Amino acid sequence: MFLRFILRALQYRKQRLLLSFAALAIAAALATVLFGIYSTVESRMRDQFRSYGANIAAVPVSGSTVPLSIATAAEKLGATAAPFLITSTHKTNPALLVAGFVPAKAASMTSYWHMEGSRDIGPGDCLAGKLLADRLHLGLGASVAIDSIRCTVKGIVSTGSDEDEELLVPFETAATLAGIQNAASIVEIRAPGEKVEAVRASLAKQFPEADVRTMRAVAETESTVVRKIRASLFLLTLFVLTITTLCVTSNFSEMVIERSKEIGIMKALGAVERRIAALFVSESAALALTATVAGYAVGLVAAGAIGREVFGGVFRMQPDWLVFAGVAGVMLAVAAVATAIAASRIWSIQPAIILRGE
């Protein structure tokens, strides 16, 4: 009887229930998008910030170099490290600034470099900074003398920083030119956002001869942006769910009024208010579950499209049962709260008044 009552209500009150279903389905789709983005926004934002460079730098306390082993130690702590060795030519007039780096290790932290040509260089190759290339009239394929060594310009790099005035060569070439072994001028380190201070403190303790400092402009901006985005998504989710609750409450309140005669008859026959209210809650729960499935499917497509537009990359739909369970739970809670508010009218319906047609 209980199930039959619910099914008949869904069958004969399609228009009003369809409005509630639409509200819940839209809310489920939005919740899927917001929950999906909320759960991955931190890792996606960390990936985006990775391209803006290091968040830790190890520089000499005294002298001009730091141990190259800092890079190895940082990698053991789960960070990415790229050593740079700055030197200059001795036989060239005027002297040229030369920066040695390891292309494979520096790639993830220098993706902001604007390149003309290729950044992949090996022995006998080099990159010319934009300002240096303009001053010396260097183009792709040009040959440059670095004291007794010559290199072929494979790319022109523009960063808006010191690199624009430098000739960038493989780290081993710069080490040979400077006569330095197992040392670097600076080691740039990219640590996961939540481990920045731990990595910095560990390296500072291991290498007292180096000043291991956090690059505040990158690290603090990363932390602030991630925190604000997650807070905004949380507030937006609450706002959407509040509107949905009001919409469903309004619809079910109207349904209670429309069905007041049925409710009066049931109460006259001995039905208790809690039992009648349970019928309405069951109707909304059935709607909520159906709306969750429909909304989740739409939300997956929307989340993938938004992720592609905002964060770039290939369009992907990634079903996550934890997200689905969360959306289903929230939708059931919204439907239950909205229906409970609407069903509170049941207690005020008097069977005698209803049966007299008043």
Nearest to 213 by CA among 196, 229, 225: 196
| Cβ pair 161, 121 in contact under 8 A | no
Each residue's pLDDT expressed in tens, for the chain with a length of 358 residues = 555 655 555 565 666 677 777 888 888 888 887 777 766 666 666 666 555 667 888 999 888 899 999 999 999 998 889 999 999 888 777 888 999 999 988 887 887 788 999 888 988 999 999 999 999 999 999 999 888 888 999 999 998 888 899 999 999 999 998 888 899 999 999 887 778 889 999 999 999 999 998 876 555 566 666 677 777 777 877 887 788 777 777 776 776 666 667 767 777 777 777 777 777 777 778 888 888 888 888 888 887 777 676 666 554 556 777 778 888 888 888 888 877 777 777 776 776 665 665 5
CA distance 287 to 285: 5
DSSP sequence for 87-136? EE-SSSSS--EEEEE-HHHHGGG-TTSEEEE-----TTEEEEEHHHHHHH
Nearest to 32 by CA among 240, 242, 315, 251: 240
Count of CB atoms situated within 10 Å of the CB of 116: 15
CA distance 131 to 109: 22
Collapse the DSSP code of 60 into the 3-class scheme (helix H, G, I; strand E, B; otherwise coil) and give the result: strand
| Cβ pair 283, 10 in contact under 8 A | yes
Q: Which residues pair with 158 in a beta bridge?
A: 114
| Cβ pair 27, 331 in contact under 8 A | yes
